[in-house]
A and B are shown apart, each in its own frame.
Chain A
Amino acid sequence: MTQGSRLYFALTVLMCAFVSINGVGLNDLLERASQLSDKLHSLSTSLTNDLDSHFPPVGRVMMPRPSMCHTSSLQIPNDKDQALKIPEDELLSLARSLLLAWSDPLALLSSEASSLAHPERNTINSKTKELQDNINSLGAGLEHVFHKMGSSSDNLSSLPFYTNSLGQDKTSRLVNFHFLLSCFRRDSHKIDSFLKVLRCRAAKKRPEMC
């Protein structure tokens, strides 16, 4: 290869790399992230419905209170006014923190789903696996968004999940599974809402979307 063609080749490669990293606009990234979060919440809702179909009444009594979710300590806006006041990067970090907080619990759920004492076990198992995949994709996507936004600091809240077992007996395992899932359902709704707010904020060029 001649010098000139070598140079040309290197330039092309560089441009390709540049474009691949920065090529996709923020709007498109957020759009994609919103779609993923939407799917995440829909999956969790259907999982909850599946579980509810054959849930023992005693379980409802045993169910822990929602405030016992491990993510309840995170300070989030509870209404629109508060949410619209929060800057984008903070919203994004909230979403990312929540997402991050659920990667371990979902792994636990996934491992427990196959041995659940429930007639819809198979469906639940497959959906849980799908949930896990989606969370990973969304996490990666939000990473890109974060880099794209170019915020200075990465202040992710740590929300540790200390439980490594759902329970000893069948019923408690089922109840805890249900409880965890309900926590996740709510948190996925939060993530979805935040990302859609972010989406509309960034889509100044496309008012018809918002």
Chain B
Amino acid sequence: RFSRCDALIYTMVLNDCVSAPDKPRLTSCRSPEKETFTCWWEPGDDGGLPTTYALYYRLENSETVYECPDYRTAGENSCFFNKNDTSLWINYNITVVATNALGKNISDPVEVDVAYIVQPNTPENVTAVVVDDQGPFVRVSWEKPRTADTRSGWITLLYQLRVKQEKDKEWEEYDAGMQKYYNVFSLHPDKEFMVQVRCKPDHGFWSEWTQPTYVKMPDYIPRERSLWIIITIFSIFIILILTWTLNVKRNSVKLCLLPPVPGPKIKGFDKQLLKSGKSEEVFSSLVIQGFPPTIGYDDLLVEYLEVYDNEEQELVLDSKDLSEVCMKSKSLSDCDSGRGSCDSRTLLLEKCMEGREGSGSDQHQYSQHGETSCTSTESSECQGLEPGSPESSDGRVKTWPVVFSSPQPHHHYQVEAVKPVYHSVPEILNRSSPHAMPTNYHQLHHQDIPQQEGRFSKPACRHSQSYNQFNLDGLDTPAPGVSPSRSLEYVEVQRVNPENMLLLRPLSDPNREPEGSDYAGEDYSKVKEVTSNNILLLQRDTYHQCVDDYSQDLDSQAGQCTTQQPPHPCKPVIYQSNSGMPQEGMRVMGNGYVDSTVLMPSY
């Protein structure tokens, strides 16, 4: 091959470098219907001279070279093989030769089997129609390319379409198989879409896409309506189910919404009788014979107050009897006796403290032992009944003053006809001089209680044990006649004489039995004073040091005590101090219990 300017031949016309043409190149051969095919080539540089191109082909099993029959039909630089010249399943060896005045050039040969180069024309007559049948959709239909003979089965075409909105970037493609229509669903309402279709033989190349076909989706409200219909039906269904469920569970629903109001359950109260309207009969059953006792208050004596105790030295009241009596009395203060000391003392106090919050600013004090409250002087109504005592029925009760001291068991007294109980008997303030022994003994006799009724309020303790609250408001002012500076002395209950008198004796009594030595931390209550209102003012004291600090403020005392007995809560002290004054009257036990036997009648 000559390079352009190496050649020494110059044309006279062009006066330029010329050469033989470049090698042409066969670009592709295609058969649209498996009956004809076309080959295209790319001419190389023509070398400056007019160049002609010729295509030659050879069939595989012969050496005969044929030239292209038709250079025109398919356009420039092409060769069209018509039906007669086209054979399937035979390799064509095709070359293109470029020739000009200076030479010729032959392209690289290409082996072509017509069966493998099938690429159909595009489908025709693409139409897209909106169908409003079941929700609007678009039915796209088309026709096969004109030249393809699918009818005889010679060629099998598979179709594909794609849809998008004008502004979208991505097409949605759908395969339609061999059918010539397709229903496109889920197109957005009130938008315009473009549709294109193409096809491919079973083994071959895809055709070109058709020109886009435009279709506009209508605005479909009916679709929303059907949605509402579905929603309505669904909710009706739900409501039906709920109604049925409610109907089935009618009773329990009624129970839930309208809980039954408890009817009156008064012992001896006959509802039917009430309904019948005879009030006399109704109420007659409620009337206790002989109640309220019309005897003088002096005669209202509390019977034996049974105090039960166990190894843990708990003081328990016979709550039942007591409560009955209290209920029956119904006068003055409410008093619920209680088995308060079933639990531990501190526990009782805590319980009391819970209820205390509700009591507001009232200053209440809870005794840690139920019986204390009941046995206080004013609680005449609290009539502890000896279990099984025959005297309870006649209303005559005797007081049983129960004075408590530390939990240490003091068997200093004996209760006749009652079980031996442990009583911690607080020291009772001895007003008189120590030598005046007889006067030391307080016969805790039931006294006029009504005066003190104002002091009592219903205990807020909710538990079965009953406590009396002692409103120590009255204790703010020391009872006249009682001076805090009075010397104090400890007393203790020695025994109870048959007349139900608590015999006391001072602790300093040499006759007294030796106590348990380990009073460490356990206090004997020190009776500070007894007010004129029959209030026994007790004072907590520590054995070791606080002995002499009678008149000290309880807070400081508490502080002192705390230092000595850390485990002992000065809590009661604090709690007492809230009320302000009751330091004097209050006695806080070493373990934190408040012993409010302040209401003992003084003699």
Contacts and interface: CB of A to CB of B under 8 A. Distances in A.
Interface of A: 38, 41-42, 45, 65-67, 72, 76, 78-81, 83-84, 186, 189-190, 192-193, 196-201, 208-210
B115 interface: yes
B154 interface: yes
A80 B36 CA distance: 10
B115 A80 contact: no
Contacts of B149: 80
- 3 closest A-B pairs (Cβ-Cβ)? A200-B153, A78-B87, A67-B61
A34 B560 CA distance: 111
Contact of A80 (B89, B91, B152, B156): B152
B235 to A, nearest CB: 45
Contacts of A197: 152-154
Contacts, number: 67
Given A78-B87, A79-B87, A208-B179, A189 B153 contact: no
A190 B89 contact: yes
B145 to A, nearest CB: 15
A199 B153 CA distance: 7
A172 B151 CA distance: 44
B88 A79 contact: yes
Interface residues of B, number: 26
A196 B87 CA distance: 18
B178 interface: yes
B34 interface: yes
A201 B153 CA distance: 8
13 contacts: A66-B91, A72-B61, A76-B89, A78-B87, A78-B89, A79-B83, A80-B152, A186-B89, A192-B203, A193-B154, A196-B202, A197-B152, A197-B153
Nearest to A208: B179
Interface of B: 34-35, 60-61, 83, 86-91, 113, 115-116, 149-154, 156, 178-180, 202-203
Contacts of A190: 89
A208 B157 CA distance: 12
Given A84-B152, A84-B154, A209-B178, A65 B60 contact: yes
Contacts of A45: 203
B152 A67 contact: no
A49 to B, nearest CB: 12
A78 B90 contact: yes
A80 B154 CA distance: 7
B30 to A, nearest CB: 17
A80 B34 contact: yes
Given A38-B202, A78-B88, A80-B35, A196 B156 contact: yes
Given A79-B83, A200-B153, A189 B89 contact: yes
B203 A41 contact: yes
B580 to A, nearest CB: 100
B463 to A, nearest CB: 86
B270 to A, nearest CB: 83
A179 B136 CA distance: 55
Contacts of B35: 79-80
A192 B115 CA distance: 11
A210 B89 contact: no
Nearest to A77: B88
A174 to B, nearest CB: 19
